[in-house]
Amino acid sequence: MEASEARAGVIRAPRVFVDPEAAEARLGLIGLEAHGTARPRVFVDLEEVEARLGLIGLEAPSAARPRLRSAVSALLKLTSGLTALALFVLGLELLTSGASGAGSLLGRLSADGPLNLFGFGWLGAYVVLSGSPVAATSLTLFDGGVITDVESFAMINGSRFGASFMVLLVGFIYYVRHQRNPDGLYIGVVALLTTVSIYTPSALIGLLALDQGWFSGVGVGAPPGVATVIDSSFGGLADQADKVLPGLALFALGVAVLMASFQLFDKVLPNLEPPSPRLERVLAFFHRPLAMFIMGGLVTLVTLSVSISLTLLVPLALKGVVRRHGIVPYVMGANITTFIDTLFAAVLLDSPRAVTVVVTQLVVTAAISIAVLLLVYQPYQRAVLGLAHRVTANRRAFIAFLATIVLVPGVLLAI
């Protein structure tokens, strides 16, 4: 067939002038034929030449690689997520089986009653740099009969006090690395003061609500099929471990497995640190208190960690994405949805009363936060920001603040 003939039904590439010698040089064909005189320029169909030389489709695999990488990444995330869930359930079962060992530890510490357990949860969150494992541990201790529902409630509250310390720690790191800029420390102090000022009345009202049974009808257990699978698989593993490990070692193993599950969840869930430009644009759009309140709750819901969502405040505020007056409502919102993972743990334990404990904490905290936001937000914000400014104004005041947040939980544990 002549090069100029068109094949029916085929879309052809445009024909251009091509120097055959240049084309052959480009395709590595020079030297295959005897040298001769210069050849005249002719019309050549590039697509047909490439097709005959087997070059069509050489670039196709590169276009498929991103899709393949995305599929592999999604599969790895799914596998990691399921592994994290399995570790979470196994950790809960190990903690429940080793509850007697934790009971002996609490006995040695003379930790008995809501105040002692509040201090224990507070200091425990300092040690593990997270409140979620400590809150889940409190539920397993309650489910194992080591502590009461009121003590479990107090320990969960203490864990949330301690979790906000992460913001201050990150702020201190920024202070050291960024020419002694005190803004990071200021943000950490604001987060701590907001947490303490909201959770303190929430804890007192919650204790009253538990005593009066305001939310007793809310308790639910795990679905029957789920409870059976957990008992037959993960419960069996915990029983085997109980046969070879003493109670305290088994409890420590449960804490380690639980922390490993949370770390794996952090890798699977969306990575918001450092904050992406998209997140910065979204947060910059919301500067009203109610919008920042909702945003704080949503970020914590996505990350399932108040430690992560609150530590994001430091780089975001230092960049000017989150303004100072937006820190307080953001922390208030984050401190509500942080109970979602604790509620999930209560359901998996198949303990309706544990669910009631968590729901009481969640509802009371949400009610107080919304009331403050709608009724007394401006004076409340001025009080928090003003106190934070005085604390970070000089070194002596800041050291006194640090001593307070370390000594208070220690005193509560000791009394």
List pLDDT tens digits, range 8-44: 444 444 444 445 555 555 545 444 444 445 555 555 5
* Three-state secondary-structure class, residue 18: strand
- Unique residue bearing structure tokens 């334990």: 349
326: pLDDT confidence band, cut at 50, 70 and 90? confident
pLDDT at 372: 94
Lowest mean pLDDT, pick from 145-159, 285-299, 387-401: 285-299
Give, as one character, the DSSP assignment of residue 37: S
Q: Which of 79-93, 113-127, 224-238 has the lowest mean pLDDT?
A: 224-238
Ranges 94-108, 210-224, 370-384: which has the least confidence: 94-108
Would you state the pLDDT for residue 80? 74
Q: At 44, is the secondary structure helix, strand, or coil? A: strand
More confident residue, 41 or 345: 345
Question: How far apart are the C-alpha atoms of 115 and 112, rounded to whole Å?
Answer: 8
Average pLDDT over every residue of 50-67: 54
Q: For residues 207-227, give the mean pLDDT.
A: 73
Assigned token pair, 177:
């690395």
Mean pLDDT of the chain: 74
Please say if the pLDDT value at position 343 is more than 70: yes
State residue 14's pLDDT score.
Answer: 46
According to the model, what pLDDT value does residue 369 have?
94
What is the residue-wise DSSP string for 250-314? HHHHHHHHHHHHHHHHHHHS---SSPPHHHHHHHHH--SHHHHHHHHHHHHHHHT-HHHHHHTHH
DSSP string, 336-391: HHTTHHHHHHHHHTT-HHHHHHHHHHHHHHHHHHHHHHHHSHHHHHHHHHHHHHHH
Among 49, 91, 39, CA closest to 234? 91
Which residue has better confidence, 227 or 16?
227
Q: Does the pLDDT value for residue 277 go beyond 70?
A: no
Local structure of residue 113 (DSSP, 8 states) = S
CA angle 87, 93, 98 (to 5 degrees): 120
Size of the chain, expressed as the number of residues it contains: 415
Rounded to two decimals, the pTM is 0.67
CB neighbour list of residue 317: distance below 8 Å, 6 or more residues apart = 183, 187, 323, 324, 327
Q: What is the CA radius of gyration of the chain?
A: 31
H/E stretch holding 86: helix 60-97
Q: What angle do CA 83, 126, 169 make, to 5 degrees?
A: 100
Residue 232 has a pLDDT of 64
